Amino acid sequence: MKPNTHKPYLLLLALVYGTASFAADDHDHDPAPAKTTEHTQEEADDHDDHKDDEHTHEETDEHDDHKDDEHGHDDEHKEDADGHEDENKVHLNKEQRRTAGIAVEALHPEPVAEEIEAPGEVLLNIYATSQITPRIEAQVVKRHVYLGDKVEKGQPLVLLSSATMAEAQGTLLIAAKEWQRVKKLGKKVVSEQRYLESRVTYQQAYSRLLAYGMTEEQTNQLVNKSSISKADGSFTLLSSQDGTVIKDDFIIGQMIHPGDLLFEITDESTIWVEARVNPNVMRQVKIGSPVRISYGGEWISGKVIQIHHALDETTRTMAVRLEIPNPGDHLHPGQFVTARIQVGNSNPAISLPVDAVMRSPDGDWQVFVENAPGEYEPREVRIVRNIPGLAVIEGLAPGTRVVTKGAFFVQSELAKSGFEVHNH
């Protein structure tokens, strides 16, 4: 067999072609690694940007969180401040205000009366009082009125019977009959002396019945009936005025003597108060000066009508008699009251009832101002001076609405919250 001379050539060609292909492949794949490197760098940059973004976002979140914390702290502080402010107020509903008797008034400067305060006792107005007593010894037969009854002038009060009155009644009837006969005959028939004696005897008998307690009307009725049977000694005592029966200490059948008190009647539309005043200030008190008395939580106005001119030996005070209207019949003799006698006026000032000004927990004086219906806030004031029942204050503007009644209740409600007022 003849050897193949082309085989080495073919092998060389295959080797060259293979090398070129490999080189071509290497050439074709060289850009790939570069692209991969570029992508890796981009990814790295993106990763760095992402990290920066995350860092920035985290810082932003932390900053926002910090702001939120600060804002939250501010809100909390604000809420605390608001809560603190709310605790400085009292809120009462309508029912609470009604039950506690809360009263609110707007303050305005007004002349404040200078007053003298003195204890006083209610007395009967003796100028409007009368006593019913017998003028002769008699026995009680019947009563017509009772304690507390309202009576009118001329109204029958009690029926009495008396032997003395019976004798006087009989004497009058005889004298009246004789006088009528003599008068009818006239002076031409009877002598002048007999005419005068008959007339005087009748007048004396008539006057005796009046002196014993019968009225002219009762006596005339007795004479006009001209009946001896009517001279039984009975007679009725009548009321001498309009008023109220305040005493009737007797019983039916009781024997009474001249001057014994059967009834006491008084007109209670006005009463007296006798105030006991320090003599050192008496020169300031004048007849007709306005006065007011305190009784049952109310003030009743009146005037000074009389001033005593001698010291009481026991109290070393001087008595001042006050006249007080009593239309509701609330005042009665024996009651004790506080009297305030006006002795002058001062310049206009803002004043409040003393009960409306309270001590705060830190010892300052305070009142309660109404911010809105049912909402009250303590406000410190300064007391300029005190006069009976009133405190003259400074520290509030005119027109401020202040609790004048029920301040103690408002303060109690404030104390329940546990808040101590320091409203300087």
Beta strands 375-380 and 358-359 are unpaired
Spatial separation of the C-alpha atoms in residues 333 and 124, rounded to whole Å: 6
- Enumerate domains of the chain plus CATH numbers: 86-109+350-416 (2.40.420.20), 114-125+268-345 (2.40.30.170), 133-265 (2.40.50.100)
With bands split at pLDDT 50, 70 and 90, how would you rate the model's confidence at 351?
A: confident
Per-residue H/E/C for 111-125? EEEEEEEEEEEEECC
pLDDT in tens, 228-285: 567 899 999 999 999 999 999 999 999 999 999 999 999 999 999 999 999 988 888 9
Which one is predicted more confidently, 344 or 6?
A: 344
What pLDDT was estimated at residue 392?
87
What pLDDT was estimated at residue 88?
80
Quick one: DSSP state of residue 88?
T
Answer whether residue 6 shows pLDDT above 70: no
Q: E strands along 7-109, which residues? A: 90-91, 103-106
Element (H, E) at 263: strand 263-266
What pLDDT was estimated at residue 368?
93
The secondary structure of 179-241 as a DSSP string is HHHHHHH-TTTS-HHHHHHHHHHHHHHHHHHHHHT--HHHHHHHHHHT-GGG-SSEEEEE-SS
- The whole-angstrom distance between residue 102's C-alpha and the CA centroid of its chain comes to 9
What pLDDT was estimated at residue 114?
80
pLDDT in tens, 83-110: 444 568 888 898 988 988 999 999 988 8
Spatial separation of the C-alpha atoms in residues 32 and 44, rounded to whole Å: 18
Q: Are 122 and 335 in contact (CB under 8 A)?
A: yes
Which one is predicted more confidently, 241 or 75?
A: 241
The sheet carrying 390-394 orders its strands as 351-353, 390-394, 382-387
pLDDT in tens, 379-389: 999 998 877 67
pLDDT in tens, 269-307: 999 999 999 998 888 899 999 999 988 778 899 999 999
Taking each helix axis from N to C terminus, what angle separates 216-225 and 163-185, rounded to the nearest 10 degrees?
Answer: 60
With bands split at pLDDT 50, 70 and 90, how would you rate the model's confidence at 362?
A: confident
What pLDDT was estimated at residue 413?
86
What pLDDT was estimated at residue 87?
61
Question: Which structure tokens are listed for 61?
Answer: 């979140």
Question: Which structure tokens are listed for 126?
Answer: 């003796």
Taking each helix axis from N to C terminus, what angle separates 216-225 and 192-212, rounded to the nearest 10 degrees?
Answer: 130
Taking each helix axis from N to C terminus, what angle separates 7-29 and 31-87, rounded to the nearest 10 degrees?
Answer: 20
Q: What whole-number percentage of the chain has pLDDT above 90?
A: 48
Q: What whole-number percentage of the chain has pLDDT above 70?
A: 76
What pLDDT was estimated at residue 228?
57
The pLDDT mean for the chain works out to 80
Q: Which of 9-18, 248-257, 309-318, 392-401 has the lowest mean pLDDT?
A: 9-18
Answer whether residue 8 shows pLDDT above 60: no
